[in-house]
Amino acid sequence: MGSASKQSNKPGNHQGATGKAGATDRRARIAELRAQEQRRDRRNKFIAIGAASVLVASMIGVGAWVALDAKSKQDAKTAASKAPIEGVKTFGNLSRNHVTTKVNYPQTPPVGGDHNPVWANCMGTVYDKPLENENAVHSLEHGAVWVTYNAKASAADLKTLSAKVKATPYSLMSPYPDEKGTITLTAWGTQLVLDSADDPRVDEFFTKYVQGPQTQEPGASCSTAQ
């Protein structure tokens, strides 16, 4: 019986083993939490990179589409500016002197020639009374399109034409009772007579001749404001 008393039942040894095991568990738990955090950070990083890549790709795609759309519109405008317009008449050898007297023009309305030193305001201006020929011709020299009409033009025609002119710098519109055609579109040395404002050649004429190749003084002001 005496030998049995040699077995150790000291509480310290048991507590020491338990304490070591607990410390090991805590370190393992901390390591696992850190590993989870690292995995979460990597996952978030991948998500952010993926989102950024999608955003960049979208921006590139939108930018490319905008560029292509702009180029397509410019190409269409360039093609339209070169295409002939049925019915357009052209006149050459037009003088460009500034005069303060009345001018006897061979065309009605006139398409160019000597003109007054002061141009008519042509920044999308719609006049309700006839203009002096000499002032309007000066506007043509600056690259404006002059829209005129007589009593045969309908209210719908006038509404359509005035909206077109008001939206277009380097254009002007006024009544011209003596003209033969219902509607006349005039640029320097160039003229087209129409029966209706719904004629697609209205848009074609504006596209080609507003500040077009016939312009004698490109970039010159079309405003009379000082």
Residue 9, Cα to own-chain centre: how many angstroms?
A: 93
**pLDDT of 15 strictly over 90:** no
**pLDDT of 1 strictly over 80:** no
What's the angle, vertex CA 142, arms to CA 140 and CA 144, rounded to 5?
50
**Mean pLDDT value across the chain:** 86
Neighbours of 158 (CB within 10 A): 18
CA distance 165 to 177: 19
Asked if 208 and 85 touch (Cβ cutoff 8 Å), the reply is yes
* Strand boundaries in 87-206, DSSP class E: 89-90, 123-126, 145-149, 171-175, 183-187, 190-194
Asked if 165 and 171 touch (Cβ cutoff 8 Å), the reply is yes
Instruction: Specify the pTM.
Output: 0.68
24-72: per-residue pLDDT in tens? 777 777 777 777 778 877 887 878 787 777 777 777 877 766 656 556 5
Pick the range with the lowest mean pLDDT from 29-33, 200-204, 211-215: 29-33
70-88: per-residue pLDDT in tens? 565 556 666 666 789 999 9
**pLDDT of 212 strictly over 90:** yes
109 cis-preceded (ω within 30 degrees of 0) = yes
Helices (H), the chain: 11-82, 133-141, 155-166, 201-209
